[in-house]
Amino acid sequence: MDPLVFKLGGYQGPTSINTRGATRFGAALSRALGERVKFELVGDVLALGRKSGELPDMVERGELTGCYMSTVRFAPAVPELKVLELPFVVRDRAAAISALDGELGARFTRGMHERTPFRVLGFWDNGFRHFTNRIRAIHTPADCKGIRIRTQVSERHAEALAALGFEPIPVDIKEFVEQARTDRFQAQENPLTNTFHFGLQHLHRYITLSSHFFGASAFVCNAKLFESWSDAVKQAVLHAAQQATEYQRALAAQEDDEVLARIDPHQNEVVTLTSAERKQFIEAVAPVVAHHRASLDPALFESLQS
């Protein structure tokens, strides 16, 4: 019998925390199933000329078995996920991870299984997002005015950034990386691990530790394929995914401190917001949060803040 081929796709290089998490999954799966599985990692589809946003489509078509992808990609089908696209809703990483491992994550999973062609294997830590730019140090919303910023393809993200005074340009990371040196983009926002993975610290002098969004990535596989596997294979995949998820999350928590320790003060200026400055950002986006809060179940917010 031919081995099961599990082809996992991502969009980052070999040293990134996501690729390392994917590698851990493959190692755990191979240990569990031996010659019954052939694991293939397509670590960086950007290098193949593909957009990161194509990954779920590749999984749906069966070109890939699974992938990791920001939950913003799935929010149109699973509106509950929109809560993670609202600014300053998550204040504490541990509380967010606890919620993802609890009823909130279970609710997200039910929505994904009911309304998408994907089987959720876990929710990875996509980090607190921070501003970087080449124009000026950002301490308050007034400093954001008129700066062109790349953001994820998310209406909620764009609304929040516009409320701060930015001119948001939502594009796939592939397009941004290719054009980051041009004048089209003056700023971006990402977890520190992504900022440094894509070398953006060399283009943007100013780093503001704003923690304005906290993101999760859904680690998914093709649901029809998953259901076609034996119970033993399913359990092996789920167990390997759990190990990979725990490992990726641990790396994400460590990476912020490691990146900050590597920053060259001659090259980059790091802004840590004061309580008063942070309050200005929260107040500036409050109308955006209130607008979307009205259409979402209050329990979603309570889970993240408990």
The pLDDT of residue 306 is 63
The pLDDT of residue 103 is 96
Query: What is the per-residue pLDDT across 191-206, written as a single tens digit (0 to 9) for each?
Result: 999 999 999 999 999 9
Parent domain of 254: 4-305
The pLDDT of residue 305 is 80
Tell me the pairing of strands 148-151 and 206-222.
unpaired
CATH of the domain at 149: 3.40.190.170
Domain tally for the chain?
A: 1
The pLDDT of residue 244 is 98
Residue 234 Cα distances to 5, 32, 58, 226, angstroms: 13, 11, 21, 7
For residues 38 and 241, what is the distance between their CA atoms, to the nearest angstrom?
A: 16
The pLDDT of residue 120 is 98
Looking from the CA of 256 toward its CB, the CA atoms found within 13 Å total 17
pTM, two decimals, is 0.95
* Backbone torsions φ then ψ of 166, nearest 5 degrees: -70, 165
Q: How many residues belong to the chain?
A: 306
Contacts of 76 by beta carbon, 8 Å cutoff, 6+ apart: none
Looking from the CA of 198 toward its CB, the CA atoms found within 13 Å total 25
The pLDDT of residue 2 is 81
Tell me the DSSP string of 132-172.
EESS---SSGGGGTT-EEEE-S-HHHHHHHHHTT-EEEE--
Residue 163 Cα distances to 145, 210, 241, angstroms: 10, 15, 38
The pLDDT of residue 122 is 98
DSSP-derived secondary structure letter, 107? H
Do 186 and 134 form a contact (C-beta atoms < 8 A)? Answer: yes
Low-confidence ranges of the chain (pLDDT < 50): none
